[in-house]
Copies of this chain bind each other. A is one copy, B any other.
Amino acid sequence: MTIVMSRFVTAEDAARIEGVLAGHWQKRRAAAEAFGEDYSRLWAAIERSAHGGKLLRPALVLCAYEELSVDAAPLRGAAVELAAAFELLHTAFLLHDDVIDNDFVRRGQSNLAGERFDEGVAAGLGAANAARWAQASAILAGDLLIHDAQSMVARLAVPEPVRLGLLDLLDAAVFASAAGELSDVGLSAGAVSPEVPAVLDMTRWKTAPYSFAAPLRAGAVLAGAPAELGLLLEQFGGLIGTAFQLRDDVLGVFGDEQLTGKSTIGDAREGKMTAMMAFARTTASWAELRLLIGPGGPGDIDRVRVLLVDSGALGYAERLIADLVAEALALLEQPLVPAGLRAELAELAHRAAVRVS
């Protein structure tokens, strides 16, 4: 799932972020050489895992920082490093999310584990050993990036209160996101009962805190913005990030595969418990719907869609999205939000919630 963020990442900012990341990979590759070929290959694979994203999280850090800092933007170097750290964290979460889901493919291509698996099989390992090697590699890769993300934040050359504030934000984001991931897998494994409130909690925790709320507030903290404004941005990010996730769920069933690059059968086949599905569960349509989703299914994705529409589940998700966006936009109207930032974030809210890809 992608979001067109070109408005938010200028070519110049993207180059800066890529520059910091490139420096990081170079340092890691050089250090890995002392630990043999397999470790060097792992780091090369980690670097590939971090490529190809839209730099959403770094863009939000820089957007908030640039709009809120004084003209000279004296900490721009630190802002770019902070931005890059959020990208490392995101990559770590994707890696571990794939391990947890036992996925060997992401964005239509072999992910880090998939590459290792293929290599293992090609080298003559049995499937079980190749899978073990693949999953262990991905677990370690994610571990290293969770470490690296915080390492980057911990070393920022900024005044101590700012550094501690940023560490707090990172901490809260990691903490919330792990809670969300736990709920997500609990729902999918049947360990968590799929009531609407539980699914909404998961939807709020898993992505929005580390992808929207923390990056925006972190940019504000680095810019020295008033604490009240930082809190407002965090709140805005929570709302819009939840809308983003809900839109993701809707597109997972109703999206145009040509635009999303993602199968519209995958979510239904997984029986992914989204807010939309949790709502449908409370309706008369569930008796038929439940037979169409889950392993082996859906035989008829069009029928799944009809049932989600007729049950009111799609409408429910769309209303939630609209309400979240409205609430987020209302926050932006507060006078302490500078006009430039307001315009940027209103655009972000629109793109996060209304996008088709």
Contacts and interface: CB of A to CB of B under 8 A. Distances in A.
Interface of A: 28, 31-32, 35-36, 38-39, 42, 92, 96, 99-100, 102, 120, 123-125, 129-130, 132-133, 135-137, 139-140, 142-144, 146-147, 150-151, 153-155, 164, 167, 171, 174-176, 178-179, 181-183, 185-186, 188-192, 198, 201, 205
Contacts of A132: 100, 102, 185, 188-189
Contacts of A100: 132, 135-136, 139
Nearest to A39: B179
Contacts of A175: 28, 31-32, 35, 144
Contacts of A139: 96, 99-100, 139
Contact of A36 (B36, B130, B198): B198
A15 B124 CA distance: 52
A137 B96 contact: no
A295 to B, nearest CB: 11
Nearest to A172: B31
Contacts of A178: 39, 140, 143-144
Contacts of A154: 150, 153-154, 167
A130 B186 CA distance: 9
